Amino acid sequence: MPTRPARSTTRTTTRAAARPKEQPAQHRSEDDPRIMLDRQVSADLYQPIPPYPTRTEREAEFYSLGDGQMFLNIGPHHPATHGVLRLVVKLSGEQVVDVDPVLGYLHRGVEKICENSDYYHVIDQVDPLEYVSSLFQEWAAVLAFEKLMDVEVPARAEYIRVLSGELLRVASHTLFMGFLALDLGGLTPILYSFIERDEIVEMLAALTGARMLFNYFRIGGVNGDLNHDFMSRLGDWMSRAARQTEANTGLLNENEIFVRRARGVGVMNREMALRFGVTGGNLRASGIPFDVRRAHPYSVYPALDFNVPTRLEGDSLARYLIRMDEVRESIKIIDQCLHQMPDGPVMARLPRLLRPRPGRAWGAVEGPRGMLGVYAISDGSDQPFRFRIHDPSFMNLEVVSHLLPGNLLADTMAIVASLDPIMGGIDK
Amino acid sequence: MDRALKRRLEARLGAQIRGPIRQRHDQTEIRIQPGGLPDVLRTLHDSVDLRFEILADLAGVDTGREMQVVYHLWSETTPDWLRVIVEGLSREDPRCPSGTFLWAGAEWLEREAYDMFGIVFEGNRDLRRIFMPPDYTSFPLRKDFLLPDDSARSPGEGVRHMERPFAPAVVAGDPADGVRRAPAS
Amino acid sequence: MTGLWYVLGLAAAGVGFVFLVIGLAWVISHRNRGDRHKGVPYESGIDTYGDTWGRFGVSFYIYALLFVAFDVEVVFLYLWAIVFRSLLLGGLVSMGTFVLVLMLGLAYAWRKGALTWR
Amino acid sequence: MAVGDRGPRRTRTAPPAADSAASSLPAAAAAAGGDIAAVAPGDLTAPIVVPNTFWRATNPLAYDGGRPPEVTHLREFGRTDAGRRDDARWGALQVVPTRADYILDLIRANSLWPLLSGLACCAIEMMSSATSKNDMDRWGMFPFRASPRQSDVLIVAGTLTTKMSGPLIRLWEQMPEPKWCVALGDCTVSGGRYKRSYSTVQGIDRVMPVDVYIPGCPPRPEGLIYGMLQLGQLVKDRRGHWPEREIGPTVPDKI
């Protein structure tokens, strides 16, 4: 048992000392959650907000109430938190004084499971992480494994990856528009965005076979080639894609309430964005044109011409408009992909049981929310030795505890929704 | 493979870098001791010809014999990703200086490394569990914490069985350096 | 006299309807004391922290004051709206000045910044 | 679509073959927890016990403290009467709610208001089934109430982790009485792809009485709508028998 940090006196040290020393070495069962359930621990499975002793200076500073201040749980079950995020907000009247995001309500131990499954199964395991756009998570994993195994991906597979990835980026950004409008009180944009998203997702189901968790990319290519059903649906979607996007976003762009509530709220300047490692649309909204497709080109993106939309205001409205520009860029990319699609195989020839040579690799992809990174270490066996997943929403959400203080409680929803966190990726 | 970057790194950080600078595909890897981390990061971030401003990732790694903290950095001066491996942290009491003085975003990444591996980062204002419940006692991503295996033993020869104790092979060197571990019998 | 019956009848119907509905709901619905969690106030699934008798800021009070003022104005408007056809021009002028005076009050509050949240 | 296995209402006949298996339970059940009544053979349908030959935990005390892993606490507790709650009325009034239910359950079956609670990926499919393309509102299930006080059905959509199980049980408790629970997705039905994870509850019927299980990862919106229709049918079938539900209207603290 490693010793605790010196300055924090934790309740657990006393419990650890009292526990008998001779527990079975190889499997500490008392940490198994079901044992905790069985051992009639106190009715609540874990202690809520302190009375447990505060352990770090940040926690002590946060959980000390001034006069006229109160704690409010925008808790794990709340319509506006995108999934199971819990924001403990310290309020004085309507003003937010401080925020402490509590994560872990959707922590499923994906990295540990990936270290105990073989390389094909790992690609399937990373799908539910960023479940709204799961192809990008697969792309990062596959990119890292291809670097590990020095696999040459045929050109047609690269183009199919870019095509399906950009389609999913459009679907993810339309969902983002619906959620942001829903959080600001608009009920109809969510219906429009789900109509658009369902159409794209049905198209990808025709290509890959699944609506959400695709498991479509393989190390060295993709699972299946383009088929007529997919191409016909893609054809008639492309014919009205641009007009449909303008119609959907036109609903919001000039809406006085939406603009007044989003403009000038949650402003993030360049230094804060860089210091917090924020990536993706949120970084480009603060004036830094960092897009992994341009900054560190992978796949066939050097052969495609698209520009990286960048804005300088850095507020919630800029983050929304950036994503709508990215939808137009993605439609341009899909168009180019369809024209330049080469013929040829879709999958490189690989042995059935993959045992990559020992080594380390880092693969990063530009997802709709930012840079998705995978750091894979292999030790020669057919299971990855360490599979580290870096999720952009994890870094984007961290800014919340510095953007929210000072705003009104109603504006917190505008800021959290504009950062577009997806809890599956944050809690891994 | 950016040879120029290798020369610049040796020029700036020659003293602190342990072992050779490895380069493969589009990644450059340097290894340093935990003690030298703050000023290595400071030089990487501030020196004019390096300017590694974006922290791509901070990961904890348990190699069975020691703990490592791995930084991934990006800079517009080089097409490569830079990987800084802080090695030599003992498995019983892994301590490492914190990177929050340069990137405030590293606070949560370090909280996650502490939660999953037990690596204590000195200088992090808020080092508490981020994913597991506050009164969880063990560190799940360590190599000696085994998954409770409800399903049947996974098929295939030479696959590590869940219930076998993880016996790190006594073979020297880093598992990622071409050291083939004997499959746990 | 018949007017009185109407008033009594309507009052009885109003009060009776309220108690009828509540009584029916009590008889038909399930009664379940539930366990410790049932009565706990709902705060997104977490225990509430701290007591709920906190003191509120003064800006809430100003908003409440403005609301009451204009709510009472609406009460008078209703009564006037029922009979304004028979009041002809006199009624319109008097109610117009009444509303105008309250508009002055609103303009004063607006200029003093009572409407912007502090 | 496995509708929760509901034995016949109150009369249960223990099949003779299972008697031998049932008899092995009392010793173990009594040893486990004091307040769980001993399970007398013959007065319950014994679970179909499939011996687990695949795997034995090296440490016998690892999971359920020596008891056969097939028996979960909630099912044992369900067989006792501690879970059922009488409606505490005087004399004749006791009868009124159940008779009124014969009519009210018909109304409830056609207006099952779900609680707006999405945990993970299945929540997106739940939203997709609630919006205009495949619309759940055609059967009266539309308004996703945000607070548990106004909802009838708790659709658990997504992986339930141990950290989230505390709040979710509290949500289930705070819902007013005739309430139903729908497990949406493989992770809630029986752990799904996270069967081996250290931080998830493998199947929410370990912590909650579930009525309808909807498999799929994630199930298509049509699957969820079909499951909700099955739930409506189930409510119609069990009209008036809400208090005799196999596992009591509420989940005890200590399970």
Q: Give percent of chain A above pLDDT 70.
A: 87
User: Are residues D49 and D156 located together in one domain of the fold?
Assistant: no
Tokens found for residue C21: 């509905």
Where a domain ends, among D71, D89, D114?
D71
pLDDT at A35: 39
Of the residues B131, B150, B153, the best mutation for testing chain D's interface (the one with the most D CB atoms within 10 Å of its CB) is B150
pLDDT, mean of residues D75-93:
63
Q: Evaluate whether residue D92 is within a structural domain.
A: no
Domain at B72, CATH number: 3.30.460.80
Which residue reads 């996007």 in tokens?
A: A245
Q: Evaluate whether residue B129 is within a structural domain.
A: no
Domain that holds residue D57: 16-71
Q: Evaluate whether residue D59 is within a structural domain.
A: yes
Q: Evaluate whether residue D77 is within a structural domain.
A: no
Touching subunits of A (3+ CB pairs, under 8 Å) are B, C, D
Q: Evaluate whether residue B167 is within a structural domain.
A: no
- Comparing A143-157, A174-188, A259-273, D2-16, the range with the smallest average pLDDT is D2-16
Residues in chain D closer than 8 A to C31 (CB atoms): 87-89, 97
Q: Does D24 score more than 50 pLDDT?
A: no
Domain that holds residue B91: 3-122
Taking CB atoms and an 8 Å limit, are A116 and B93 in contact across chains?
Answer: no
How far is the C-alpha of A156 from the C-alpha of D29, rounded, in Å? 61
What is the CB neighbour count within 10 angstroms for residue D20?
11
Indicate the number of domains in chain A: 1
How far is the C-alpha of D136 from the C-alpha of D138, rounded, in Å? 5
Q: Is the minimum CB–CB distance between C61 and chain A shorter than 8 Å?
A: no
How far is the C-alpha of A162 from the C-alpha of A139, rounded, in Å? 10
Residues in chain C closer than 8 A to A48 (CB atoms): 46-47, 49
User: Are residues D66 and D105 located together in one domain of the fold?
Assistant: no
State the Rg of chain C over Cα. 24
Strand extents, DSSP E, chain B: 18-24, 27-32, 54-62, 67-74, 81-89, 95-97, 120-122
User: Are residues D111 and D188 located together in one domain of the fold?
Assistant: yes
Q: Does D22 score more than 60 pLDDT?
A: no
Q: For residue D165, give the nearest of A32, A84, B135 by alpha carbon.
A: A84
C-alpha dist (Å) from residue C69 to C61, C66, C80: 13, 5, 17
- Comparing A119-128, A261-270, B47-56, C56-65, the range with the smallest average pLDDT is C56-65
Q: What are phi and psi of B178, to 5 degrees?
A: 80, 20
Q: Does D51 score more than 50 pLDDT?
A: no
Instruction: Show Cβ contacts of residue D248 under 8 Å, excluding neighbours closer than 6 positions.
Output: D78, D82, D83, D84, D85, D209
| Residue pLDDT, tens place only, B115-131 | 999 899 999 988 888 99
Instruction: Show Cβ contacts of residue C51 under 8 Å, excluding neighbours closer than 6 positions.
Output: none
Q: Which residue has the higher pLDDT, D203 or A364?
A: A364
Interhelix angle D95-109/C2-28, nearest 10 degrees:
90
pLDDT at C26: 80
Taking CB atoms and an 8 Å limit, are C46 and A71 in contact across chains?
Answer: no
Domain that holds residue A380: 110-427
Q: Is the minimum CB–CB distance between D117 and chain A shorter than 8 Å?
A: yes
Which residue in D55, D162, D163 is closest to B149 by CB distance?
D55
Indicate the number of domains in chain D: 2
Total-model pTM: 0.81
Coil vs helix vs strand at B68: strand
User: Helix, strand, coil shares of chain D as percentages rounded to 5?
Assistant: 40, 10, 50
Strands B67-74 and B81-89: antiparallel
User: Are residues D218 and D151 located together in one domain of the fold?
Assistant: yes
Taking CB atoms and an 8 Å limit, are D174 and C37 in contact across chains?
Answer: yes
Alpha-carbon torsion, ordered A117, A122, A124, A127, to 10 deg: 130
Rounded to 5°, angle at Cα C22 from C18 and C25: 145
Residues in chain A closer than 8 A to B145 (CB atoms): 28, 31, 112
With contact defined as beta carbons under 8 Å apart, do B60 and B117 qualify?
yes
Q: Evaluate whether residue B139 is within a structural domain.
A: no
Q: What's at D56, amino acid-wise? A: R
- Comparing A366-375, B99-108, D31-40, D169-178, the range with the smallest average pLDDT is D31-40
Domain at A246, CATH number: 1.10.645.10
With contact defined as beta carbons under 8 Å apart, do B98 and B122 qualify?
yes
Alpha-carbon torsion, ordered A253, A255, A261, A267, to 10 deg: 20
Pick the CATH number of C2-111 from 1.20.58.1610, 3.40.50.10190, 1.20.120.10, 1.20.200.10: 1.20.58.1610
pLDDT at A191: 92
Instruction: Show Cβ contacts of residue A393 under 8 Å, excluding neighbours closer than 6 positions.
Output: A130, A369, A370, A419, A420, A421, A422, A423, A425, A426
Taking CB atoms and an 8 Å limit, are A26 and B140 in contact across chains?
Answer: no
Q: Evaluate whether residue B138 is within a structural domain.
A: no
Q: Give percent of chain C above pLDDT 90.
A: 31
Q: Does D143 score more than 70 pLDDT?
A: yes
- Comparing B60-64, B149-153, B175-179, the range with the smallest average pLDDT is B149-153
Q: Evaluate whether residue A35 is within a structural domain.
A: no
With contact defined as beta carbons under 8 Å apart, do D189 and D143 qualify?
no
- Comparing A5-19, A206-220, C76-90, the range with the smallest average pLDDT is A5-19
Domain boundaries, chain C: 2-111
Taking CB atoms and an 8 Å limit, are C29 and D169 in contact across chains?
Answer: no
Strands A359-367 and B54-62: unpaired
Q: Evaluate whether residue B158 is within a structural domain.
A: no
How far is the C-alpha of B129 from the C-alpha of B116, rounded, in Å? 8
Find the residue in C nearest to D149 (Cα).
C42
Q: Does B141 score more than 80 pLDDT?
A: yes
- Comparing A392-396, B42-46, C85-89, D246-250, the range with the smallest average pLDDT is D246-250
- Comparing A125-139, D29-43, D116-130, the range with the smallest average pLDDT is D29-43
Mean pLDDT of chain D: 71
Indicate the number of domains in chain B: 1
- In this prediction, residue A71 has a pLDDT band, given cuts at 50, 70 and 90, of confident
Q: Evaluate whether residue D222 is within a structural domain.
A: yes
Q: Does A124 score more than 60 pLDDT?
A: yes
Q: What stretch of H or E contains A106?
A: none
User: Are residues D175 and D218 located together in one domain of the fold?
Assistant: yes
Q: What are phi and psi of A282, to 5 degrees?
A: -65, -35
User: Are residues D55 and D159 located together in one domain of the fold?
Assistant: no
Q: Evaluate whether residue A45 is within a structural domain.
A: no
How far is the C-alpha of A295 from the C-alpha of A370, rounded, in Å? 13
- In this prediction, residue B157 has a pLDDT band, given cuts at 50, 70 and 90, of very low
